A and B are shown apart, each in its own frame.
Chain A
């Protein structure tokens, strides 16, 4: 589904990503852990193709196609979708209008809103005065209408209260076809700080990002346990250890 090869990215002249390699197969869900400022969000928005994120080296393959320099909307059309951590406010633009634009079926938006208890927001201006949790819900609702093959989710659970966490995670499971066991096609790459999401959404692999590089790949629950117990620095050492260095 997605293959990232030795990706180096600069933002405003500063090197943020330093040689990222990552491969996500069809139907797989991956989690990305890492401290604030380690480059996780940069990776996601670079995959989506936002301006200001300059690829200096390496390439991004999506469904076998090199999308490294493709415009944002063409990536979206190929099946890439992003749920933003802090999306902009669109004054006067109503959520229901966006949902109608994104989904192929005319009333899919209101059905989705009904299913996830968000009807009251259909007439609201997008993100204007939304709480943290409401923003996440609105983002996931838009992604559900768009129905991408690979969902990039930037901290979907941050700022969400416990009551709404259930709903958010149900939306993510739907997005990633978690109800299917054998023929699951939809993939996901989820940035998580709290790891809470692992209790609700099954993830296949985890990765730790530190200082613009990916250290350590493995079982996401194991990785998260290690981070909880020993901190992120341990992951850096751990990789060195794997590579045969003595600490």
Chain B
């Protein structure tokens, strides 16, 4: 699909213009190591789920602009490398490189193909069950740069891994472009949880392009959280459930302040019998625009898939556009969706007021609940972080 044709084009710049506008990250020198980060930057990363002080991390990868400052992994069960090194070590990663996302997909994939800055390579070795999450951070530190990354994640047979990815910009940075190609391979019986927290500057353009392949009995859980202002995000990860009983679940919590245009969603192709999927999004507009997509494609018998888009508009001029799609190619499927957008129902507010809460308390109780989505399968330490981010967001409301 050509994004520029099929997506609303509320941006003032075409895809080509965007590339012209920003300086390649490779032309701007990044810091030598994380010791150069200022206090407010570390605080910023923390808000994005990246904690450099906690011992509860299996490993850490930090890329600023185009250079990698940190790439350490304590667990022998996980291999963590900058993608440029992995390409050398594994002879171009022939079975994985551009296999789930086409390099010819659009302007941004072509750009990433030709002008790669870096990215991460993560591989959980067969049977390894890693308890603490691995954290990866893609950070843009300078104004008006274009960061182009390509990530490969492989969960080998029977492995279990949680990855927290924080994508952020310097606290005082306003403008930039982030292009992120990610390809996830979840092999037989493996389980991969991927939590992505976006925390961008208000004039940043974000263009992730993501493909996922899940084999027999494999599980892929994606949590996407974006609570701060951003100029424009376009993301539409596509997962293929290739083996029997594979499972993919996408949860997203998205807040769009005024001036933000966030076009997100997921597509899941249920190819194998018994595979299951769930796409759940909770979106709030404080004046910005959210497109919440979901496309489930049932190609095999006995699959089960559900789609849920719930949107709250909490300020004038806010737009929430829910686009749930169900596509069944065989009869014996269980596919459903529900979508609802609008303001908080007066009935709900009055219900809580009848128990003694004032209008403000009632509203914030409902919003907090709304944001506290059923991110089932989120390990407790991640859950805590999400809560912290949600609380953080509340302070700003």
Contact = CB atoms under 8 A, between A and B. Distances in A.
Interface stretch (A72-80, A172-180, A192-200): A72-80
A102 B368 CA distance: 17
B356 interface: yes
B365 A101 contact: yes
A55 to B, nearest CB: 16
Given A90-B366, A98-B355, 17 more contacts: A51-B346, A51-B350, A73-B357, A75-B354, A76-B355, A77-B356, A90-B352, A92-B282, A92-B368, A92-B370, A92-B373, A98-B365, A101-B357, A102-B356, A125-B369, A142-B355, A146-B355
A73 B356 contact: yes
Name the 4 nearest CB pairs between A and B, nearest first: A93-B369, A92-B369, A76-B356, A72-B353
Contacts of B369: 90-94, 97, 125
A82 B368 CA distance: 24
B353 to A, nearest CB: 4
B396 to A, nearest CB: 19
Interface string A81-112: 11010011011111001100110000000000
Nearest to B346: A51
Nearest to A152: B354
Nearest to B308: A91
Contacts of B356: 73, 76-77, 102, 146
Contacts of B370: 91-92
Interface of B: 282, 310, 345-348, 350-359, 361-362, 365-366, 368-374
Contacts of A50: 350, 354
Given A51-B346, A88-B345, A93-B365, A76 B351 contact: no
Nearest to B356: A76
Contacts of B310: 91
17 contacts: A50-B350, A51-B346, A72-B354, A73-B356, A73-B359, A76-B355, A81-B354, A88-B347, A90-B348, A92-B371, A92-B372, A93-B365, A93-B368, A97-B369, A98-B365, A102-B356, A125-B369
Contacts of B372: 92
Contacts of B282: 92
Contacts of B374: 92
Contacts of A88: 345, 347-348, 351
Contacts of A76: 353-356
